[in-house]
Amino acid sequence: MSTLGITKLTCEYRSEPLGLGTERPRFSWLLTSGRMHVLQSAYHLQVAGEEGDFAGDHLIWDTGVVDSDESVLVEYAGAALQSGQCCSWRVKVWDQQGQESEWSDTSYFEMGLLRTADWSADWITPEPGRIDPQAEEEFLLRKAFHVTKDVRKARIYATSLGFYELELNGERVGDWAFTPGWTSYRHRLQVQAYDVTDLIRSRADNAIGAALANGWYKGNLAWENHRNLYGDQRALLLQLHLEYADGSTEIIGSDPSWKASTGPVRMSEIYHGETYDARLEAGGWSQPGFDDADWTGMVKLDHAKDILVMQENEPVRVIQDLKPVTVLRTPEGDTVLDMGQNMVGRMHMRLNLPAGTAITLKHAEVLDSRGNFYTGNLRKAKQSVTYICKGGGEETYEPHFSFQGFRYVKVEGWPDAEPLNPDRFTGRVMHTDMPQTGRFECSHELLNQLQHNIEWGQRGNFLDIPTDCPQRDERLGWTGDAQVFVRTAAFNFGVAPFFSKWLHDLKADQREDGGVPHVIPQVLDDNACSSAAWGDAAVICPWTIYLCYGDKRVLEEQYDSMKAWVDHIRAQGDNEYLWNTGFHFGDWLALDAKEGSYVGATPRDLIATCFYAYSTSLFVKTAEVLGRTEDAAAYRQLYERVAEAFLNEFVTPGGRLAAHTQTAMILPLMFGLVEGEVQRRMAATLAEYVKEQNHHLTTGFVGTPYLCHVLTENGYHDLAVKLAMQEDYPSWLYSVKQGATTIWEHWDGIKPDGSFWSDDMNSYNHYAFGAIGDWLYRAVAGLDLNEAEGPGYKRIRLRPRTDSALSYAKAALDSMYGTIRSEWSLTDVDGDGDSPLASYEFEIPPNTTAEAELPGASIATTQVNGQPADQASGVLSAKEDDAGVLKLELGSGVYRVTVQQPSPALSGA
């Protein structure tokens, strides 16, 4: 029996996806084996019809045996796939010793509607007159129909202008929220596919229902109370595809024969919440037999269909439930539920109250210094939900078309005679349904809470797009926030489809001159565009996704956008190799800003030119990966001239930087713009600047993500550790000590005396400063990839830092090849604290290799799985370098490493 196996088959990152929009789907699989050091040497992949029969004519694509170690994102290259086509697939592999696996289990994928011509349905909206197109109420749409045959398969394809929810025969269709998602609606509109086979009644009457609300399409967006930014009419486009047992098919689509009314949702807005009057519910409205004689007719709406694309990222869903941890009575007399966690989503209520009772829930992130409910930082956002009871028994409700960012919920309208039972309330956590892939833990509980806060900041703000914050009248896809956090994001959760979708919108909203809007999708003024470190998301984000997942397609799809951004920068400056014109946010929210300013003291042209160089360097790498040799050569020359211009403009002949801030030192070091003695001098200057601040930072959005990395990589890891572990203001752990459960926008969002930084811009769930998480994974636990030898953790680099003032640290990442782990611990064997025993545990997934670097260890003093380091199974080589670092070349497997006579260098800082 073969010990070589295959598990976790995915297509386009998902298990058995429905409604794919790519005509060349990509397949991935994990290898399993009971042996150490297993590499794939060949694979055989087959695609067949939906019956799962891989014999003869049923095969659609058969690769034969392909000599390749590829097991990630292997691209389909068979006959053109058709709209709605369902396919099965399987794979077998061989390892480097010639061992052959069994065929994998069979997996499936199904295509969506790939061409505009596939749409026979009409865009429909309620007939004007009887229903006001600008009404705040939800629109309820329905269509009754009769099925005359036995149904074998049923699919719904749907999208809308505004939000929609579907019902079929009285049952909710799917569990997705806020469909069709937020895209650049003028250019791209997503379509969702649903399997409704089990909801259709064969040889019987049926009915479809759809509820429409404003959503991002025409609701209130941004802080200037803008509305109708994409259009002023809600509409539905839907097709129900029926495949009968006899092989015939039928399409039931949206058309003017549908009926419309308003529903119990009287108001629903992203920022402001929802009002629901249960007395207005029309029981059975989405079931056959419902009397819709009083409902109004529908009309066609002239709207494009060539902008339609199938759903690209995972949907937003309710991911988990939280119960209130306590009920508070504030000094002002308010009744407040404390959820114990700053979360994003909505509250679910179970009520049994008299008809007409109105219960209002108001949502806030924090309490003020006196313990009262505080909403000042919401600005114009109301975050208020009102439910009016119909009476007559227990009722349940949660908002349909709105989400809130909150920890505290003020309950208004609860009858005095009825004790408020917190068990009647549940917080429903919502975000894009990304798989959690990363875990970090260490011996410092406050750092563990920081990691918790980083994860929850990502959960709350990765809601279809990467928003800056989830609570106030903003919630926009700020490019700067996204690019500084993307590497951390890719540790915590699987974000490749999420960012690929968002980057398609960036490309769609990019200006003709290559400029990139500050927010994606673009809903601000046309001039809100092209700041350094914000627009650079056009290059940094696709490169990072490629790096973390080995996804070359994201580079192919974004290549023109990346190039256009670099060309845009080149056209900006007075000198084509310096970027010294235009608006820039600078080192946003840095602590060295002038009084009354949000912009840090680092010169903006220095920041801009650094990012000009960085984006150009990444574009050169992209061109090389894609084989665009002419572009690679031309832009490499551009990079060299930008780097030279930077040195001439900002660095003196003696190696001093003509700016005196932490961020000014960080960027040239991080982006490789200095080397040799200049690099050493600049790193030493940065270290002095940190020490002068009593081991505190002064950086903002631009410098903070790189600060600890730069210190560690330039020989000042002890300073990086001290920075990360500071507990007083300003520091990452200051907010933790203040009780934060997410990342704050400002270092002092709540001051030591309990007062607030400001009402104007003070989010308590703002993930940008959470970019420190990347350093915790890569520098402290030591889990990293070797970029020079390829992307996607095919080649793993393990550099655990036991000199991190901790007794242990551990990190794990579920990569595209499987789980990678890097763990270390220190044991004080002698009790003197001088020479602790260092132990490590590494897990390397099959079809990858790793290099582990262990400072202070030697071959003679190191054992691997109880064997001498150079003799243990799976250890491909063991070498000591001149710096006293033992380098172990490891194949796949689990390794327990002990250093028997460690150097004092291994002790905590």
Q: Which positions are annotated as active-site residues?
A: 474, 745
207 has which bridge partners? 144
Q: Are 336 and 371 in contact (CB under 8 A)?
A: no
* Rounded distance between C-alpha atoms, residue 639 and residue 440, angstroms: 36
Strand duo 107-111 + 18-20: pairing: parallel
In the beta sheet, which residues pair with residue 192? 158
Q: How far apart are CA 348 and CA 364, in angstroms?
A: 16
Asked whether 405 and 471 are in contact (CB, 8 A), the reply is yes
**Which structure tokens are listed for 173?**
């269709």
Max Cα distance, the chain (Å): 88
Burial class of residue 649 in the structure, from the number of CB atoms within 10 Å of its CB (0-12 exposed, 13-18 middle, 19+ buried): middle
What secondary structure does DSSP assign to 550-591, as a single string?
Answer: --HHHHHHHHHHHHHHHHHHHTTSSSTTS---S----SBT-T
Question: Burial, 728: exposed, middle or buried (Cβ in 10 Å; 0-12, 13-18, 19+)?
Answer: exposed
Q: Return the ∠ at Cα 488 (arms to 37 and 436), rounded to 5°.
A: 65
Tokens of 406: 């909150």
Total residues belonging to the chain: 909
Separation CA 25–CA 37 (nearest Å): 30
Tokens for 668, please give them.
Answer: 């040239």
Block residue for tokens 């690019």: 483
Alpha carbon distances (Å) from 464 to 176, 406, 495, 565: 11, 18, 11, 24
End-to-end CA distance of the chain: 51
- Residue 759 CA to residue 750 CA, distance in Å, equals 11
Please check whether residue 46 is in contact with residue 89, taking contact to mean a CB–CB distance below 8 angstroms: yes
**Sign, Cα dihedral of 464, 468, 471, 472:** negative
Residue 298 vs residues 135, 262, 267, 284, 797: alpha-carbon distances, Å = 16, 13, 21, 20, 61
